[in-house]
Amino acid sequence: MLMFLFNSFLLGAALAMDACAVSMADGLNEPNMKVYKVTFIAFMFGFFQALMPLIGYFIGHAVLSYIETFIPYIGLVLMLLLGCKMIFEGVKNKDEEEKITNLTFLTLIVQSIATSIDALSVGFTFADYSISKAVLCALIIAIVTFIICFAAVYIGKKFGDKLGNKAIIFGGILLIGIGLKIFITSFF
């Protein structure tokens, strides 16, 4: 059981890396973000990082070959769209002093899904777990992701004040890079 918990923790940390980078970009985009919003962002990433493996667990191997083909493309498109939008807004508003605070609920949902799509395929590896073991693993993934993303938003906020609109452009580039990583690593 101890090895299962340790492996679940490591799995959570590995799966959280994309969400961590996007959380940091969110913090870069809005350096004056309130604690409740930081908490909500971390919660959303944690929730979807736990939900996707559970969906994968319940779907099982029956449809893996159909879904697995599209995962890299979905992640790439979502991250490219979000990244380009951020870059456009950063360039468009480069002379404005006011920070862009357009992290909407819909944008956060898209970010959360895009960064947790790889976790869906991880759920297929849970096929031999009991339901309680799969739920426990997903819960550990959620907690680890929440903690990592919470810290990442604060790191982004700290640098966001110093970088201004360059931070927004950097965040957009970061999102595009994550999309490319999802796409490229799925083939190699």
Provide the residue ranges of all domains of the chain, joining segments of one domain with +: 2-185
Q: How far apart are CA 188 and CA 169, in angstroms?
A: 28
SS (H, E, C) 30-92: CCCCCHHHHHHHHHHHHHHHHHHHHHHHHHHHHCHHHHHHHHHHHHHHHHHHHHHHHHHHHHH
What number is the average pLDDT over the span 5-33? 87
Q: How far apart are CA 172 and CA 42, in angstroms?
A: 19
Neighbours of 115 (CB within 10 A): 31
pLDDT at 167: 61
H helix and E strand count, the chain? 6, 0
The answer to whether the beta carbons of residues 64 and 124 sit under 8 Å apart is yes
Higher pLDDT, 32 or 85: 32
Q: Model confidence over 26-57: pLDDT tens digits?
A: 998 888 899 999 999 999 999 999 999 999 88
Q: How far apart are CA 32 and CA 154, in angstroms?
A: 10
* Structure confidence at residue 100 as a pLDDT band (50, 70, 90): very low
pLDDT at 99: 46
35-59 vs 131-163: helix axis angle to the nearest 10?
A: 140
Closest CA to 172 of 96, 92, 95: 92
Give the pTM. Answer: 0.74
Higher pLDDT, 95 or 132: 132
Contacts of 181 (CB under 8 A, 6+ apart): 18
pLDDT at 49: 95
Q: How far apart are CA 55 and CA 129, in angstroms?
A: 14
The count of C-alpha atoms lying within 13 angstroms of the C-alpha of 163, restricted to the half-sphere facing its C-beta, is 21
Q: What is the rounded average pLDDT for all residues in the chain?
A: 82
Q: How far apart are CA 160 and CA 7, in angstroms?
A: 34
pLDDT at 40: 97
Residue 97 tokens, joined = 């002093």
